Amino acid sequence: MDYTFQYGQVWPYVPYLLKGAWLSLQIAFLAFCGGMLIGTACAAVKTFGSGWMRHGVNAYVVFFVNTPQLVQIYFLYFALPDMGIFLSSYMAVLLGMTLNAGAYLTEIQRAGFESRRQSEMEAAEVLGFSRWQQIRYVILPHVAKVLFPPLSNHYILMTLGTSMAAIFGVEELTGRAFNINSETFRSLEVFSIVAVIYVVVTLAASVLLALFGRFAFRAKMRVV
């Protein structure tokens, strides 16, 4: 392989790429927050809800968890217009990622709710805690500690997942890589730089999340 790397041509584009990375982070953040709202509501329904509501939530979760996000977004972006619903590519991606996240976060949170330890609850009861005090001092801290690591993990996966927005023409990090590639044709240079940006960004996010998790919830978290 006699390929000579010429990063010189691509360097000037780095600030442009970083702006794309910022957009990636925004998409991931918005989709995660939306997903958390859906996920918390659905997990609550699954834990406490009535029969038919649980079935509804189950159908939603099972469907989204067992199909690819990419095809879900294809459907939203290309099929909804036939029904008179027009979404911009950005909105289609955001909506798809949010719905997808909602399903996964439902599963993660339900597992967290279920991990409340019976013995702890009993201990709290014996100590004479009120219902609210039990939630405040026993259940919440425990659930937060158990949930934080898998939620952080999912957030990182979602940050990586935003790259499929490029396929719909959203100019986030990967999208901008495709743009530069078609201008300069320095494909390997562009995509290797982009890869490194993803590594650095997600590594930074992992470190911050692990520090926060340890500090706030005494969650056991490792970065590497």
Partner 1 sequence: MSELADLLTYYNVIFLLKGMATTFALSALGCILGGLFGTALAVARLTTGPLTLPLRALALVFTEFFRRVPFLVTLMLCFFIFQFSGLDVSTFTVGCVTVVLIGTAFLAEIVRAGLQSVHPNQWHAAETMNFTLLQTIRYVVLPQAWTVILPPAFGFFILFIKDSALASQIGVIELTYVGKVFNNRGFSAGVSFGVILVAYFMLSYPLSRLGAKLEKKLGSSRTR
- The torsion angle over the Cα atoms of residues 159, 97, 144 and 223, rounded to 10 degrees, is -20
Distance CA 55, CA 60 (A): 9
Q: With contact defined as beta carbons under 8 Å apart, do 98 and 30 qualify? A: yes
Task: Give min distance, CB of 130 to partner 1, in A.
Answer: 35
What tokens does 211 get?
Answer: 């520090």
Task: Give just the sign of the alpha carbon dihedral 72, 78, 80, 86.
Answer: positive
Q: With contact defined as beta carbons under 8 Å apart, do 31 and 101 qualify? A: yes
Of 40 and 192, CB closest to partner 1: 192
Residue from the set 62, 91, 127, 207 that interacts with partner 1 by CB under 8 A: 62
Distance CA 204, CA 48 (A): 37
Which residues are within 8 A (CB) of 186 and not within 5 positions of it... i.e. 6 or more apart? 6, 7, 9, 10, 180
Residue from the set 8, 15, 52, 66 that interacts with partner 1 by CB under 8 A: 66
Task: Give min distance, CB of 206 to partner 1, in A.
Answer: 8
Contacts (CB under 8 A) with partner 1, residues 114-173: 156, 160-164, 166-167
Binding mask 5-44 for partner 1 (x = CB under 8 A): ----------------------------------------
User: Contact between 177 and partner 1 (CB under 8 A)?
Assistant: yes
User: Contact between 65 and partner 1 (CB under 8 A)?
Assistant: yes
Binding mask 68-107 for partner 1 (x = CB under 8 A): xxxxx-xx--xx-xxx------------------------
**Ordered DSSP codes for 15-42:** HHHHHHHHHHHHHHHHHHHHHHHHHHHH
Binding stretches for partner 1 (CB under 8 A): 1, 3, 62-63, 65-72, 74-75, 78-79, 81-83, 156, 160-164, 166-167, 174, 177, 187-188, 191-192, 194-195, 198-199, 202-203, 224
